[in-house]
Structure 1
Amino acid sequence: MSTPQHDLQRMLHGPILSTLLRLAAPNVLAMVMTVLVGIAETYYVGRLGTAPLAAMALVFPFAMLTQMMSAGAMGGGVSAAISRALGASDVPRAQTLLQHALVIGLGAGILYSAIFLIWGPGFYRLLGGKDAVLSEAVRYASVLFSGALLVWLLNTLASIIRGTGNMRVPSVGLVATALLQIVLGGVLSLGAGPVPAMGMVGVALGHIIATAAGVGYFFWYLVSGQGRLTLRWQGFEMQASLFADILKVGATACLSPVQSVLAILIFTGMLAQLGTEALAGYGIGQRLEFLLIPIAFGIGVASVPMVGMAMGAGDVARARRVTWVAGGVSAFNLALIGAVVTLAPDLWARLFTSNEAVLGYARQYLVTAGPAFPFFGLGLTLYFASQGAGQVIGPVLAGTVRLVLVAGAGYWLSQHQGTADRFYELIAIAMVLYGLVTAAAVKWTPWGAKA
């Protein structure tokens, strides 16, 4: 029977690829469920009409930003800090980091919710939302972002458990949460039996209820003492050094998803000028691009504790080997997806609409951007692995390069009557550049045992 000490030794000294795949498997399953949630919710909204679908395209980047910051960025900082402490055999420090991580998740969730409840309508208007589309976006987002605190807590709790090397429990909780979200989203949005159809608001309510259930499960697990760490508040004293241990990685890493979403928002705002059909079609393609993130996430978060524990134990060479293996596995996975949607774009696009004008834009995006997906996966997974080493500045700067390219070239296209296919080519070039620059940053950034 596997024990925590045995698992630690396997992560520190076991074969890299098999250990990584074993850790990644439950994460990938959980992320596949996240993909299914995205497909289901887009299907429900597609049934409501073109205006709601376009409204979802306006709100969706900010909704995904919640997930990306809480799970991938700050969550990575949480997992990395805990795994480095465990790698150095400092369990008391890891125990105290758990409590500090929850304080950070609570504060960030409240702040995030306040920002989008207050300024969200202005953001959607800036992106080109107006009339019925803007009205639908505001109604949907006002409910969705009232639950941002729950999303931050869910992902913070999952990241704490992952930091101990346990990928099974977070995955079980997230899979159950996703299944509940799919069911509730459909019932509440489209109606069933005595339950009235609530439209886009029903999709948002389903998300909030399911997330609350997931938070309850993770709290129970940590309080019950079944894991390597146990949640206790007695004698808790906040320490600046422990907040810094998490935030030096997590806060810096949060810049990366902000840059990614800004790049998407630039395209969304520019394509909104081409009409509702163009915006809705791009929204379908954009949805797939965002759903690539959870797939790369499944590999990336598995590498964080492996890299972090190796760094905590002073084995920098192993930490780097884990990083490159994880990047290669992720690039391979996304290359397969890119090949499928490039050769058969309708397999994805027709899930959400039968409008030929909308389908035309969606096909253009998928065929053009699909071949660049593996570079996107490579860069994103290397970004996660770098969190384990406490060295995220290079990958974040790679995101800056991508954003500058998108903003500069996108502006030029908008001033020269650029067509949709030219914008899609720019997306593909930006993905390739992001992957290559991130790889170069990881290769040339020195990693020290005390990182």
Structure 2
Amino acid sequence: MNERARMLSEDSIKKVLFKLSLPATIGMIVQALYSLVDTIFVGQALGPESVQGIAGITIAFPIQMIIMGIALTIGIGSASIISRSLGAKIHERADIALGNAITAILALSVVMTILGIVYIEPLLRMFGATETIMPFAYDYTKIILYGTIFFAFSMTLNNIVRAEGNARVAMLTMVISAGLNIILDPIFIFGLNMGIKGAAIATVISQVVSALFLLYYFAKGMSSFNFHIKHFVPHPEILKEMVTIGTSSFARSASGSLMVIVINNVLAVYGGDIPIAVFGIVNRLFMFTFMPMIGIVQGLQPIVGFNYGAKNYARVISSTALAMKITTLVSIAGFLLLFIFPTQLFSIFTTDQELIEAGKAAMRIMSLALPLVGFQIVGASIYQTLGKAKPAFFLSISRQVLFLIPLVLILPRFFELQGVWMAFPLSDGLSFLVTFVMLAKEYSLFKKDMHPDLS
């Protein structure tokens, strides 16, 4: 048994979760920072046009989410196969999963780039771009699309690095990318006076460097995988399982993208550019709040996947329960920050008083059910890690598709703009209840497997 396998199967759960989650959490926080910094710099650079600039980035966000969703489909799907294969000591299967993941994401990235550039204007209009927002959204999105292959490649391999238990390298990848973007943003936006185009160029350069770093890591044999050309040949059974498991990640990103499209279009009807900019800022602040929780989940996944593969169900339950306690505490802290200091947070992005006042009211309503989100994030990820595609898919779409989008379409008819903001805590509460019921059933199945004589 190698050191990583021993750590995942025998070390104290608190120690292992901390060891794997801390680097992932730091990496995710830094990653969220550069999304925030892009918006902050654009808002400050454009002055009187800050509302349109921020709204332009908001309109472009669904395209980035779709790219992210496809990368996560391959990355998390292959990571689940890899962690379970390593737990079951089937190393050849893990090597094939890595090779097929690289082949798949490179092919899909080329397709996404071509389609995105060809249909960029109709896509942006569909996503809610008004005539005043369109120039900013177009300039930003076109450049971002050229970095698709590097962004998707980095995100896919980062999940695989984490699946083998190398959280430090996964963290370093994100820190390099985000840190470089934060450094380059002011240079391109202010120093070279490129405005919103500068923000996009800085992002793409950082993605290129991140992809090259991961390529170096694997090419130099620093990972525990064995490379052979045969591993890159498409393997139908592996690809099918990879996509089946990862589909819930795509569903989450695609439904998130659909959610943003619907909300942008509804906001255009009930308020125009300012509410769209408000939503863009709140959405990024929410992401910043969610990132530590996602980091904890990323640290949890190798533990759960390995021990599930090894049939050590008690360790699966204990590690999941601990992760839920920690993410709930983080989500409560995030709620307090957003609810108590909305004016101060919005003032970082813009000096437009109308935007600040509108944002203050919206954020307090939207964050009301935030303390429940930590439980949801852990719950949804568990099914993916266990390789249970159907419940993972259902939980991935429950918040956005089953609850949030219908509420966003219905509530404004009665409460106008405020109805859009009210839809968020209501959908979070409903999604929490669904996740709780499903996990309670899964927990009882684990208990039966642990004590078959009692069933």
Give the alignment's TM-score, normalised by structure 1: 0.91
Change (3 A) 1:199 1:372: same
1:282 is matched with 279
- CA–CA distance in structure 1, aligned partners of residues 217 and 127 of structure 2: 42
Are 1:81 and 2:81 matched, yes or no?
Answer: yes
Aligned residues: 440
| Cα drift, residue 392 of structure 1 | 3.9
> Deviations along 1:283-308, whole A, 9 cap, x unmatched?
21122223344332201111111111
Mean Cα deviation higher: 23-32 or 329-338 = 329-338
8 Å CA contact 1:330–1:374 kept in 2: the answer is: no
Task: Give 1:399 deviation, angstroms.
Answer: 4.0
CA deviation vs aligned residue, 1:192-221 (integer Å, no higher than 9, x gap): 2xxx32221111111111111111111111
Is 1:157–2:157 an aligned residue pair?
yes
Match of 1:209 in 2: 205
CA distance in 1, matches of 2:103, 2:380: 24
Partner of 1:223: 219
CA distance in 2, matches of 1:102, 1:236: 7
Q: Does 1:381 align with 2:365?
A: no
1:54 aligns to what? 55
Instruction: Call closer, same or farther: CA 1:242–1:304 in 2, change over 3 Å.
Output: same
Task: Map 1:221-370 to 2 at 5 A.
Answer: 221-233=217-229, 236-273=232-269, 274-370=271-367
Residue aligning to 1:70: 71
| Structure 2 contact 71–155 (Cα < 8 Å) conserved | yes
Aligned position for 2:402: 404
Q: Which has the higher contact order (CA 8 A, sep 6+)?
A: 2
**Does the CA contact (< 8 Å) of 1:300 and 1:384 recur in 2?**
yes
SS in 2 for 1:238: coil
Shift in Å, 1:55: 0.9
Q: In the superposition, relative to structure 1, how do residues 115 and 332 fare at CA in structure 2: closer, same or farther (>3 Å)?
A: farther
Pair 1:20-2:17 in alignment: yes
The match for 1:133 is: 133
CA contact (8 A) 2:373 2:432 kept: yes
> For residues 280 and 203 of structure 2, what CA distance do their matches in structure 1 show?
20
Identify the structure with the greater helix proportion: 2
1:166 paired residue number? 166
Partners of 2:106 and 2:440 in 1: CA distance:
35
Runs of 4+ in 1 over 6 A off after TM superposition: none
The superposition leaves residues 322-375 of structure 1 with CA deviations (integer Å, 9 ceiling, x where unpaired) of 223223322221210111111111232111012121112211222112232232
Q: Does the aligned pair in 2 maintain the 1:76–1:304 contact within 8 Å?
A: no
Distance 1:358 1:80, change over 3 A: same
> Which is worse superposed, 252-261 or 233-242?
233-242
C-alpha distance in structure 1 between counterparts of 2:403 and 2:289, whole Å? 21
Is contact 2:127-2:260 (8 Å) kept?
A: no
The one-letter code sitting in structure 1 at the alignment partner of 2:63 is F
Contact 1:85 1:93 in 2 (8 A): yes
The amino acid across from 2:203 in the alignment is: H
Alignment-derived partner of residue 123 in structure 1: 123
Summarize the Cα distance change of 1:387–1:341 in structure 2 as closer, same or farther, 3 Å threshold: same
| Counterpart-to-counterpart distance in 2, 1:235 and 1:69 | 21
In the alignment, the residues of structure 2 paired with residue 119 and residue 263 of structure 1 have an alpha-carbon distance, to the nearest angstrom, of: 20
Question: CA distance change for structure 1 residues 111 and 422 in 2, over 3 Å: closer, same or farther?
Answer: same
How far off its partner does 1:69 sit?
4.4
Take 2:263 and 2:85, find their aligned partners in 1: how far apart are those partners? 41
Q: Does 1:30 align with 2:27?
A: yes
Shift of 1:94: 1.1
Contact 1:7 / 1:165 at 8 angstroms: preserved in 2?
A: yes
Residue 114 (1) aligns with residue 114 (2): yes
Structure 2 spans left out of the alignment, 5+ residues:
450-455
Contact 2:87 2:306 in 1 (8 A): yes
Change (3 A) 1:376 1:114: farther
Deviation at 1:24, TM superposition (A): 0.4
User: Matched residues in 2 for 1:379 and 1:241: separation?
Assistant: 30
**Which residue number in structure 2 is paired with residue 147 of structure 1?**
147
Residue 181 of structure 1 and its aligned partner are, at CA, apart by: 1.1
Assess if the C-alpha contact under 8 Å between 1:311 and 1:319 holds in 2: yes
One-letter amino acid of the counterpart of residue 342, structure 1: F
| Distance in 1 between residues matched to 2:193 and 2:355, nearest whole Å | 25
Which of 416, 430, 440 is the aligned partner of 1:443? 440
Q: 1:243 to 1:431 in 2, by over 3 A?
A: same
Q: Is residue 189 of structure 1 aligned with residue 189 of structure 2?
A: yes
| Consecutive unaligned residues in structure 1, runs of 5 or more | none
Aligned to 1:97: 97
Q: What is the CA-CA distance between 1:65 and the residue it aligns to?
A: 4.0
Structure 1 CA distance for aligned equivalents of residues 362 and 231 of structure 2: 55
In structure 2, the residue corresponding to 1:371 is in which secondary structure?
Answer: coil
TM-score by length of 2: 0.91
Separation in structure 2 between the aligned mates of residue 370 and residue 392 of structure 1, nearest angstrom: 30
